[in-house]
Copies of this chain bind each other. A is one copy, B any other.
Amino acid sequence: MKVLIVGLGLIGGAYAYRLKNKGYEVYAVDLNQESIEYAKEHNYIDDGGDDASLFIPKVDMVILSIYPQAILEFLKKNAKYFKKNQIITDVCGVKTSFVVEATKLSKPALYCSHHPMAGREKSGVKFSKECKFEGANFLITPTRETSYQTVEKLRALGTDLGFKRITAMDIYEHDKMIGFTSQLAHAIAVSLVNSDNNPDNTKNYIGDSYRDLTRIAMINDTLWSELFLENKDNLIKHIECFEKNLDELKIALMNNDKTALEALFKSSTEIRKEMEKK
């Protein structure tokens, strides 16, 4: 299997060294020459550079590991080098906003998007080994046009990368779900940290709760502002639903309503315990 990874950041680098270890022939392109050098020196890739057109003809699969808003731009520039039956995919955390267009642009190659649900509060290829895939979800997001064979090839990629659970799901369903489990969680963590009036004092007294809850407030601002905006309709709905629930709790407090508070706590405990069973 021969792959080209476009964008050697945290995730691109994690793909590179894992696939190389699995015996893949791995190429990479990145505008940052240092990242390419680092990956070559550490034997993450067979070869690389800054010109995708030199490597696209050599590979079975092109994996776009670049910022969401750069994907269509890349395809417009490079789709002319794509071959029939070549698979083009991306690791982007949102899907609806570009997958249909990307599929059109990539023809005669086969575009099928996927989403590795893993990351770290760091960026850059030098931290790639800290990015763990074991135990994580790998979501494949085919469209009506995607053949079963293509999905199976992405499933094999997920397996070779070491993901635990590999599932195919619709792009709209994906973005709705990820807006809740990932983006809303990040929006909350960011807002909680930003609402701290006295961080110098806070840091002396944080317990595990605050630490765990706010870890993801350390965030790649370029990447995540794109992810949020590409999925804004879903995310705004989730924020509003969350706000409604928090207001309910605040009103129970204002009314000294112990029974209402207990009911909210019982509900969250029951729902969350059910998740532990998975």
Binding site for B on A (CB under 8 A): 117-119, 136-137, 139, 165, 167, 177-178, 180-182, 184-199, 201-207, 209-222, 224-226, 228-229, 232, 235-236, 238-250, 253-254, 256, 258, 261-262, 264-269, 271-278
Contact = CB atoms under 8 A, between A and B. Distances in A.
B269 A205 contact: no
Nearest to A275: B203
A118 B207 contact: yes
A180 B207 contact: no
9 contacts: A119-B207, A181-B207, A191-B242, A212-B212, A212-B216, A218-B272, A236-B253, A240-B250, A243-B243
Contacts of A182: 207, 209-210
A270 to B, nearest CB: 9
B213 A213 contact: yes
Contact of A195 (B220, B228, B241): B241
A186 to B, nearest CB: 7
A136 B207 contact: yes
B221 A265 contact: yes
Contacts of A181: 202, 205-207, 209-210
Contacts of A196: 180, 271
A245 B194 contact: yes
A122 to B, nearest CB: 11
Contacts of A258: 225-226, 229
Interface centre among A212, A214, A269, A272 (most CB of B within 10 A): A272
A267 B194 contact: yes
Nearest to A258: B225
Nearest to A136: B207
B167 A217 contact: no
Contacts of A165: 204
A178 B209 CA distance: 11
Contacts of A272: 193, 214-215, 217-218
Nearest to A132: B208
Interface centre among A167, A190, A274, A276 (most CB of B within 10 A): A190
A167 B218 CA distance: 28
A204 B165 CA distance: 9
A239 B246 contact: yes
A191 B225 contact: no
Contacts of A194: 245, 248, 264, 267-268, 271
Contacts of A195: 238, 241-242, 244-245
